[in-house]
Structure 1
Amino acid sequence: MIRVKILSLLFMGLLISCNTAKKEKASEAEAEPEMEVAQDMGAPNTLTEAEKADGWKLLFDGKTSTGWRSYGKDTFPEGWVIADGMIHCPGSGRGEAGGKDRGDILYDQKFGNFHLKLEWKISEGGNSGIFYLGQESEDLDYIWKTAPEMQVLDNEKHPDAQMGTNGNRQAGSLYDLIPADPQNAKPVGEWNEVEIMVYKGSVWHKQNGEKVVEYHLWTPEWNELVAGSKFPGLNENWADVASEGYIGLQDHGDDVWFRNIKIKEL
């Protein structure tokens, strides 16, 4: 009898253990879909439902050059390529000289107060840039003569990384004016996530999740900063940045890729 009772108790314990394990597995299975939803950040060149509800707009659909054109022209340059969900500027080996079918590109709409997001990756020894508040006229041949620039660069190989002052020509910097701090650019071939926010003259650069630059246009401090840079020698009115303008991507003669370009007007 004692032996039977012991076996009976062991059997009951086994049943309870099995049922507990089944309930735990069922709970885990129910939790999995929630984890997948939480990790879904959206495919490249798309907007999540949350972004749509928050007023974001895609500036690049991942397939066509719709909305983009050459600086000073009505058409998209033949030298740039739309492929594999990216805007690609192939290297020319001629630096800024480029070629007749190349040059900087811009999105054909002016923005004033905005929050811009995009991703870039650069080739070995490569150089490029992201312009904002840029202007266009018959008297201007380059967008950089009017527009602040967030630098895109291979900090390890491109000589410009060692020029300027305190690293103000390295990736993420306000080119030739304010160095990115911290300097957290990713290596060649890896995607860098960047953001530019402009609001009533206040400007912020973010690179890979960290704020790296902050400044305010049109102030005495701004005018003094520009006066100590190379820009007055290139355009004496460079400090007079407009309150709204074009967003542009630079052809500096090196391979560079862009994707996930989106904006929210503020």
Structure 2
Amino acid sequence: MLLQSLMVSVVMLASPAVVEEDGFRVIFDGKTLDGWKQVGPGSFEEAEDGDGFKTVGGMGLLYYEKETFGDCVIRVVYKVGDERDNAGVYVRIAEEPDDPWYAVHNGYEVQIVDRGSPLSQTGAIYSFAEAKKIESRPGEWNTMEITLDGEVIAVSVNGEAVSRFDPTSDPIPPPRNDIDPKRQPRKTRGYIGLQNHGDDDLVYFKEVSVRPLEKQADATD
């Protein structure tokens, strides 16, 4: 009985849902959608080779319904087929959404698409802050890290800084059209979501992990 209990404990520790690596806690392991909820059209379906989930149709939103997140680093591992494939990572969604457009206007989208305007390229805080360069690689797994620090959002892709936005001090571009996100304050704590954009877009996700933000102590003499 003792041996069996130890074996169960080992299995639990090996589960991606509880294992911490470099301080990150996995909330999406690319194998199940446990804890995630789809709203809006389309879906996320298991990839053909079983390595992650792929976006199908849209525009919809898959969000992590178990908890909200404040200051933290979010790591997302994703892959696109080519530069036209479109998706996004939503952060700071104020309330549980019943419509994907709620996340657009009450959160921030970190864009995934390797073409178009710098305000809507991979790593941009969609329509608020430009991606300074494209660091993702189509056809390969890419790692995006989104740092939430108070009001500030900073994004890196494959280890390279791409964008940073502070709504309290940075100039905010005017909306470009009627569907651009509303220019209104966002909460600094909220839900995380993944976008499935449309019928012509195919984006794969195999990991979403979260690590509490390490605050540096103020320097003293």
What is the aligned partner in structure 1 of residue 81 from structure 2?
A: 123
Selected match of 1:212 from 144, 162, 180: 162
Selected match of 2:45 from 50, 63, 81: 81
Distance 1:61 1:131 in 2: 18
**Letter aligned with residue 259 of structure 1:** K
1:257 alignment partner, SS class: strand
* Residues 1:148 and 1:235: Cα distance change in structure 2 (over 3 Å): same
What is the aligned partner in structure 2 of residue 252 from structure 1?
A: 197
1:56 deviation in Å? 2.0
* Residues 1:255 and 1:216: Cα distance change in structure 2 (over 3 Å): same
After superposition, the CA RMSD in angstroms is 2.9
1:234 deviation in Å? 4.5
**Letter aligned with residue 73 of structure 2:** H
For the Cα contact (< 8 Å) 1:46–1:260, is it kept in 2? Answer: no
Bigger relative CO (Cα 8 Å, ≥ 6 apart): 2
What is the aligned partner in structure 2 of residue 106 from structure 1?
A: 63
For the Cα contact (< 8 Å) 1:205–1:213, is it kept in 2? Answer: yes
1:210 deviation in Å? 0.8
Structure possessing the higher radius of gyration over alpha carbons: 1
Distance 1:236 1:213 in 2: 18
Unpaired runs of 5+ in structure 2? Answer: 1-14, 214-221
Q: TM-score, normalised by structure 2?
A: 0.75
Selected match of 2:152 from 185, 192, 202: 202
**Letter aligned with residue 80 of structure 1:** F
1:59 alignment partner, SS class: strand
1:127 deviation in Å? 0.9
**Letter aligned with residue 208 of structure 2:** I
1:144 aligns with 2:89: no
For the Cα contact (< 8 Å) 2:70–2:190, is it kept in 1? Answer: yes
Distance 1:121 1:153 in 2: 10
2:172 alignment partner, SS class: helix
Unpaired runs of 5+ in structure 1? Answer: 1-44, 93-97, 156-160
The C-alpha deviation readout for 1:151-188, integer Å capped at 9, x for no partner, is: 10132xxxxx1x4xxx22111111122222232221x2
Selected match of 1:179 from 130, 136, 159: 130
Which structure features the higher share of helix residues? 1
What is the aligned partner in structure 2 of residue 9 from structure 1?
A: none
Distance 1:199 1:80 in 2: 29
Please list, as runs of the form range in 1=range in 2, the aligned pairs for 1:1-266 lying within 5 A after superposition: 46=16, 51-52=20-21, 54-71=22-39, 79-83=43-47, 84-90=50-56, 92=57, 98=58, 103-108=60-65, 109-124=67-82, 125-136=84-95, 142=101, 143-155=103-115, 161=116, 163=117, 167-186=118-137, 188-217=138-167, 219=168, 221-222=169-170, 224-226=171-173, 228-230=174-176, 233-234=178-179, 238-253=183-198, 254-266=201-213
Which structure features the higher share of strand residues? 2
For the Cα contact (< 8 Å) 1:65–1:82, is it kept in 2? Answer: no
For the Cα contact (< 8 Å) 1:146–1:238, is it kept in 2? Answer: no
1:168 alignment partner, SS class: helix
* Residues 1:182 and 1:55: Cα distance change in structure 2 (over 3 Å): same
Number of residue pairs matched by the alignment: 192
Q: TM-score, normalised by structure 1?
A: 0.63
* Residues 1:202 and 1:138: Cα distance change in structure 2 (over 3 Å): closer
1:144 alignment partner, SS class: helix
